[in-house]
Amino acid sequence: MSTGRDLFSLPAGPAELCFDKNEFMKKTFSVDEFLHENRNAGSLEIIRDDLGVYLKVLRSAMIELINQDYADFVDLSANLIGLDQQIGGIGGPLEKLREEIVAVRDALEGTMGDISDCLEQKKALRGYKKGLQSLGKVQGALVKLESLLRPAAAEEINPTLLERAALESIQLQFNIKFCSEFLNQDQLNKSEELKASLLAQIKGYFLRTLKQNDLDGLERCLRIYCTLDECGTAEEVFKTEIVSPYMGRVVSESGLQNSPQGLTGIYNQILDFISLNMKNLLALTKKNGKVKGYNFIVHSFWTEVERRMETNMSSIFAPGNPESFYQKYKCTLEFLERIELIIEDPSEIAAFKAHPQYKSFQVRWNLPVYFQIRFQEIGSNLEKACGRELDAPKFTTQQISPAQFNLLQFSVALTCISSCWQDGIYLPQLFHRFLKLTLQLLSRTTTWIDTAINSPPEDPSLKLKLLATLFSDITNLSRKIPQIVNLIHSKSPPSLTLPQSSLDELFFDNRSSLTTKLNRLQTLVVQELVQAAIPHLKQVSDIPRLYRKTGREVPSRCCQYMEQMVAPVGTFRERYAELIGAERLKEFLAGVYASLTLNYYQAVDEVLVSVQKTEESLRRLKNLRDRNANPTGVTPASNTNNSSSSSTASMSDDDKIRLQLQVDVIHYVQEIERSGLARGEIEKLPELIQLVEDATKIRIGGNQQQQ
């Protein structure tokens, strides 16, 4: 959109124009857009005529503008006359000036090039001069070094001369760098020969000081090596001349077979080498020693030991025998830890562990194969146990106990889990693998529980015992999980820093699964007990037949069906109360009695309704008979007195039925209370009690005993 800043002052046109004159000054003016916006203002002929009118207005305005500024236009044209000649006159001198500047620049560049060549020549001359000076120094150093390194016996080596020769050798090598192009091949060969001779004499002196335990001489020798920047040479000499012969005698298959202590004895002999042959070296080269730059433990001792073990004792790495492999690996870890204690300095210990041969040595111990063998051993034991069927005779006769596992599969599972973390099997380097195996063992046990639940014993009478035993063992296994977590946490490597809360989360699924199995077993037990009791409830409907027109006495004890109905629940409570636990048993019994009470309520209600209907029918029939026998409606006094005395002397059949139902309910309530449950804990039980109380008008006391 355009703004006021996009518009300029234009001459005003007639008011009847069909368009806005300011639209022509918009930066975004478009003919198509102009016609589109004004298509409704009039026809094209009107727009054309209005445009023509406004064009005349613009022409008139332009003429007026020219007339007003005519003098300025004339002056401008007069001032421009002869401007070309003036510009041409200025151009010539400027072009000449440019050529002169270019010439000066070329001259300067040529001079600078000559100066640069001179400087390069001077630099080369200085180099030649320095090279010639160095050549002279090299020649003098060769002569001097040769005189210092005259052949001498090892016992005649003078350490002072060696130090001077080392300094001279350094000067020689330094000067050779600056005059290498002037040296001939003979001079270069001579330099190498003298250096080799120097190193040979230092080597002899080094070995002599080691042999004689000359601490001061050893220190001077190490400083000479350090001066020559040949620390690695000293370490190599020690490894080749001292370490290698010793390890060649100690580290071998025959030595391993003949060692009374086995691999431990070999490691002890290896470590004895340090105390026998490296005491002075370590005293001088440790962190607080007088000489820096050496690491004889790693570069001389360890490299040779590791090489010999890989080549001469490769049998120790074989994982075929897991017990032997475990002992050898643990012994090796202790050996490495003892080396680290000798090193002491954390930075040097880190360098020791980062050494390629240390890593190669660790890789040679095939821990994955060892774990696979242990996995097959432990896993196969549990798999065999889970594959076994429950031994029916043994299961029938064995004494079940809530304090221990009663089924073999659970005992084997806990034994297998414990085996994963016991000494002789568990290795900290395999922590994650054994942790995963523990979770797999728990998962396999959980899977077997489903199999056991879905495969009941052939004898139906053993089903409740199996379910209760499974419930007890699963409960015990759930209680063992925190102990397992604590055991795993105590076995976790210090470098892992695994919090116990993280371990708890790992076992959350296993605990949840076991809880689900317990709830399922509880449901199955409740179903079994209810199914055993429900058939006896059908006899409630037979109570009216027992009392109606039979002349039975007033009921004083419960019917047999009631005893039969609560007998399975009572038997289960007596047998398995200790096995399941008091609190959980109450949940079992509450579920059973809740289901039974609901069905019992319906049965009692149906009987009471039927009795009431029968009673009302008999009453109507009796009234009808009385009206037919006595049309006058007068009742004999004798009959009235007899009826009144009879009603007081005996209870009607319907009242006996109601009372029997109440007696049965009282016995049922007493059984529930004997189980440790309150009346209010059982759904529908208060309604059942109220139902029989309303029928008999006799209230059942909370602690009433009914025989």
**What is the predicted pLDDT for the residue at 638?**
41
Calculate ∠ Cα 113-114-120, nearest 5°: 90
- pLDDT the model gives residue 459: 74
Closest CA to 365 of 312, 429, 413, 419: 429
Residue 385's CB is within 10 A of a number of other CB atoms, namely 20
How many angstroms separate the Cα of 256 from the Cα of each of 328, 442, 704? 12, 41, 86
Measured in whole angstroms, how far is the alpha carbon of residue 127 from the centre of its chain?
66
pTM: 0.69
How is the chain split into domains, by residue range?
A: 22-80, 137-316, 369-393+401-498, 537-619+653-698
User: What pLDDT score does 123 carry?
Assistant: 80
Task: Quickly list DSSP for 607-666.
Answer: HHHHHHHHHHHHHHHHHHHHHHH-TT-PPPHHHHHHHHHHHHHS--HHHHHHHHHHHHHH
Residue 510, exposed/middle/buried by CB under 10 A (0-12, 13-18, 19+)?
Answer: buried
- Residue ranges in the chain whose pLDDT is less than 50: 1-7, 153-154, 392-393, 396-397, 634-649, 703-707
Residue 181 has a pLDDT of 59
Which pLDDT score is estimated for 530?
Answer: 92
| pLDDT number for residue 121 | 82
Which phi and psi (to 5°) does residue 15 adopt?
Answer: -70, -25
Question: pLDDT tens across 226-273, in order?
Answer: 888 888 899 999 999 999 999 999 998 888 888 888 889 999 999 999
User: How far is Cα 159 from Cα 665, in angstroms, rounded to an integer?
Assistant: 115
pLDDT of residue 391: 56
